[in-house]
Amino acid sequence: MRMIPLTHLQSNNILAIDILDENSKVLLTKGQLLTAGLVNRLKNTNLACVYIIDKYSQDQVPTYTAIPQNILQRISTLNELRNINQSGQGDFETLLKIMHTVNDIVYTLYAGKQNYRLNYEPNKLLTKSPTETNIYIAITTTLFALKLGWNPNDAVNLCLAVLLRDIGLAAHFGSSNIARQKHPINGANFLKSTYDLPEEILEIIREHHELYDGTGFPNKLHGDNICKGARILKIVDLYYNLQEKMWQNPARASVLTEDLQIRTSYLDPVYLGLFMNNVDIFHKDMLLQLTCGDIGIVVKTDKTSPLTPVLKIIKSSNPSHVNQLVKVASQPGFKIKSLVYYVD
């Protein structure tokens, strides 16, 4: 199963996951052949990507976030966060609905935490929800915390903090650079005065822009003086940022290692190591072109080295390379050049 942006989608592929509208109505069913007509129709929607199966696909088990039902069931409630974030207003009934949804997410993740991997998920729903990416970041951050051994109650606080972290950017707080620099404090103060949220949530919101090397804002906190939740969130935020850049510009797959190394001073080194042991950066069935020109499909990821997966070469000018298993960067010419979507 492979993710393909709509901008690059081709016909004659099999749909791997149902496509649903915002009311959870199935529009296209998994297993359906994507004809040229269906591809053109999809490209006229606001859908960002689909998952497909072709002759090279091996891994056909979707991740938790890849299944649209898991997100659509909650997105209508979480969309109400937009009203709070934009207007800085809300009511306890709205907050209780959101907290109920967050509890549902956390306990689902808690039950399956051993089987779920940390994955990047782009917007893929037929909905104009502005909260979709934020939901994926909240889910990934929460799952990471649960894998670290956090109890569900603390994970609920973390998930809610991630979802509410940018409330201080609401228009009535101001749009100047100074206001933006103060938005973590403004947001936490608003949530304290309006909802009297627990300090564990407010602390994460106040510190979600602090960096491990002390160069963040608003208080330039350093190292372990930053709360654990904010340190975890910063890693997930960076992961999503780098993955988004790669999917928008496939050639950036070649510099992911360098991009990460440049930013490591911002991140808690212990949590970063644990994150790398649980994350899929180049996930199974992803196609990568190497510097020697070969194209391979990811067949195995290494928990100790997620930036150097094992590929099965499926296209090469050298016939002896085809079907060969190669670990990325294990020999000259076998470094990643680019992410690709199709072999031919």
For the record, the structure tokens of 252 come out as 């950036």
Question: What are 14-55's pLDDT values in tens digits?
Answer: 999 998 877 778 889 999 999 999 999 998 887 888 999 998
Residue 225: band (very low, low, confident or very high) from pLDDT cuts 50, 70, 90: very high
Q: Where are the domains of the chain?
A: 2-53, 68-234, 287-340
Q: What pLDDT shows up at residue 82?
A: 62
User: Whose structure tokens read 């901008």?
Assistant: 7
Q: Spelled out in words, what is the top-level CATH class assigned to the domain 68-234?
A: mainly alpha
User: Which pTM value belongs to this model?
Assistant: 0.92
Q: What pLDDT shows up at residue 83?
A: 63
Residue 85: band (very low, low, confident or very high) from pLDDT cuts 50, 70, 90: low
Cα 260 to Cα 182: distance, rounded to the nearest angstrom: 27
- Residue 195: how many CB atoms within 10 A of its CB? 18
Question: What are 172-197's pLDDT values in tens digits?
Answer: 677 778 778 899 999 999 899 888 89
Say if residue 300's pLDDT is above 60: yes
339 three-state secondary structure: strand
Q: What pLDDT shows up at residue 86?
A: 58
Question: What are 301-322's pLDDT values in tens digits?
Answer: 888 889 999 999 999 999 999 9
10 Å CB burial of residue 205 (0-12, 13-18, 19+) is: buried
Mapping DSSP onto H, E and C, the string for 245-285 reads HHHHCHHHHHHHHHHHHHHHHHCCHHHHHHHHCCECCCCCC
Q: What is the dotted CATH code of the domain comprising 2-53?
A: 3.90.105.10
Q: Are 271 and 236 in contact (CB under 8 A)?
A: no
